[in-house]
Structure 1
Amino acid sequence: MNVFLDYFLTFFHSAFVLFVLFGWIPKSTRKAHLLAILLVLFAWLVIGLYKGVIGYCPLTDWHWDIKRALGERNIPSSFTEYMLEKITGIDFDRKLVDIGTATGLILSILLATYVNLKSYLSSRKRVL
């Protein structure tokens, strides 16, 4: 079961990260994207403050428990760092990855805000 959960969480977490980064692009996914952003911000900031780790991710926490049960050791604290290192074979600097991850989230929030405001304002013009 743990092997299945490991594969499932790798796929789901990767898809979720990509959705958080790019879900603002299709008009049909923008509302779901805003919900995803709110979930990430809640986990990173609210739960993170409670846990003592800004940027805390429950998916990563659960996934790492499964990986440890499967015998994997020396797992980085960041899912993004883990995936980058698995895909490229390069040992990335943790701080650089954390900065890149936070930058990606901030850019996604800014772009989502822009496209949603633009869409909202253009729909208001049509009504008036």
Structure 2
Amino acid sequence: MDENEFLLKLGDYFFMIFHSLLILFNLFAWLYKPLLRWHLAVLALTFASWGILGIWYGLGYCPVTDWHFNILKALGVTDLPQSYISYLLQRLFDLHLADDVVVGLTLGCSLAALILSVYLNFFRKKRH
């Protein structure tokens, strides 16, 4: 293995861990009160990426996915799915779901996390 391939594989593992943790943070950080403000901010950035950057790059665009998929392509990986969640399900569990199912579940779970975060950040009564 040459140095370039080593660095690409290192990048692959970095993005597998980083992006997976980011997804888990987006879905579940609302559960831990000290992270509520960060959770809302990161979710807002995620939705902005999907929607605003999506105007130019396609709805649901994520730069982290783009960077990771570029590394995978440089490693010779082909037939990458449209969504990163589909990629994770295939790579980690050999689970192949229809794209519309994955997009629906991703959007639904993300919206649920956003609603919970907005409620907990702004509408829940503060207790002392």
TM-score for the superposition, normalised by structure 2: 0.90
How far apart are 1:118 and its partner, in Å? 4.2
Aligned-partner SS, 2:30:
coil
- Superposition pairs of residues 108-123 of structure 1, within 5 angstroms: 108-119=113-124, 121-122=125-126
Q: Which runs of 5+ in 2 are unaligned?
A: 1-6
Q: Which runs of 5+ in 1 are unaligned?
A: none
Q: Letter of the 2:126 partner, please give it.
A: S
Counterpart in 2 of 1:80? Answer: 85
User: CA separation in 2, counterparts of 1:2 and 1:69?
Assistant: 8
User: CA separation in 1, counterparts of 2:41 and 2:72?
Assistant: 28
Cα-to-partner distance string for 1:41-80 (whole Å, 9 max, x where unaligned): 11000001122x1110000011100000001011102110
User: CA separation in 2, counterparts of 1:31 and 1:22?
Assistant: 13
Q: Letter of the 1:69 partner, please give it.
A: A
Report sequence identity in percent.
31
Q: Letter of the 1:93 partner, please give it.
A: A
**Number of residue pairs aligned between Structure 1 and Structure 2:** 122
How far apart are 1:87 and its partner, in Å? 2.2
2:30 maps to which of 24, 45, 50 = 24
Question: After the TM superposition, which parts of structure 1 deviate over 2 Å for at least 4 consecutive aligned residues?
Answer: none
User: CA separation in 2, counterparts of 1:122 and 1:24?
Assistant: 15
1:44 maps to which of 21, 46, 50 = 50
Cα-to-partner distance string for 1:59-115 (whole Å, 9 max, x where unaligned): 001110000000101110211011112222122101100000000110000111222
Supply the RMSD in Å over aligned alpha carbons. Answer: 1.3
Which stretch of structure 1 is more off in the superposition, 22-31 or 108-117? Answer: 108-117
Matching of residue 4 in structure 1 with residue 13 in structure 2: no
